[in-house]
Amino acid sequence: MSEDTPLPMRVRTRRLVQTELTSVAQDLFVAQGYDATTVDQIAAAAGMSKRTFFRYFPSKDDLVIGKYDLFADRMAEALDDRPAEEPVWVSLRRVFDITLDYVQDDRQRARNDAMDEIVRSSPQLNARYLERMQRVQQLLIGRVATRLTGQDPDPADPTAAALVGAAFACMQAARSAWFASDRSAPFGDYLDTAMAAFQTIRTTTDRGADPHSG
């Protein structure tokens, strides 16, 4: 499927249901804990049967990890939506806009922190989480490589992987700095500052850029 081909309705519908189930489950996890929350409770809160729940997630663990699959898809789609002529570094910064609410919104952050704690407390879930986060970056790396060269990604060229890795490092640095601050300024400002530190990388690696430009 090309980047310009819309997703089939059944795929979009499935994602919407999975997103709703994940949201309902997160609220229950925050309120009563992961272990104390059953699939029956999640299904009931979402207004569906347990059997229907299993059509979307094979288990409660898969629901937790499914959050990161949905996040990966959102990141990839956000990059696909950026103008082809836009500098890659700018596009990556705009893609990270989808993370702002997860950091700035108190309710979203509480849910996100609760889910992260669930994942960290389980070696099995944590291993699967690391796999999913690698998938997030891989989805972006292929797209960035194509934007840089106009050709299929070359596994022997580390440029795209370096850019995506640097962008994610900037996001983590901005997040740490924002939490250490009084939080009077938006998280997006911190993200802008962190990514501006790589201005030289952006201007020397985008297609058609002069490698000697400042």
Rounded distance, CA 28 to CA 42, Å?
7
- First-last CA distance in the chain: 38
pLDDT of residue 199: 66
pLDDT of residue 70: 82
Burial class of 96 by CB neighbour count within 10 A (0 to 12, 13 to 18, 19+): buried
Q: Residue 212, Cβ neighbours under 10 Å: how many?
A: 6
**Phi/psi class of residue 120: alpha, beta or left (left: φ > 0; alpha: ψ in -120 to 50)?**
alpha
pLDDT in tens, 183-197: 889 999 999 999 998
Helices and strands (H, E) in the chain, number of each type: 11, 0
Residue 211 scores a pLDDT above 60: no
Rounded distance, CA 94 to CA 116, Å?
24
Q: If you average pLDDT over every residue of the chain, what do you get?
A: 85
Phi, psi of 105 (to 5 degrees): -80, 125
CA distances from 181 to 112, 114, 187, 190, 192 (A): 20, 22, 10, 10, 15
Rounded distance, CA 169 to CA 158, Å?
16
pLDDT in tens, 18-71: 889 988 998 898 888 888 999 999 999 999 999 999 999 999 988 888 888 888
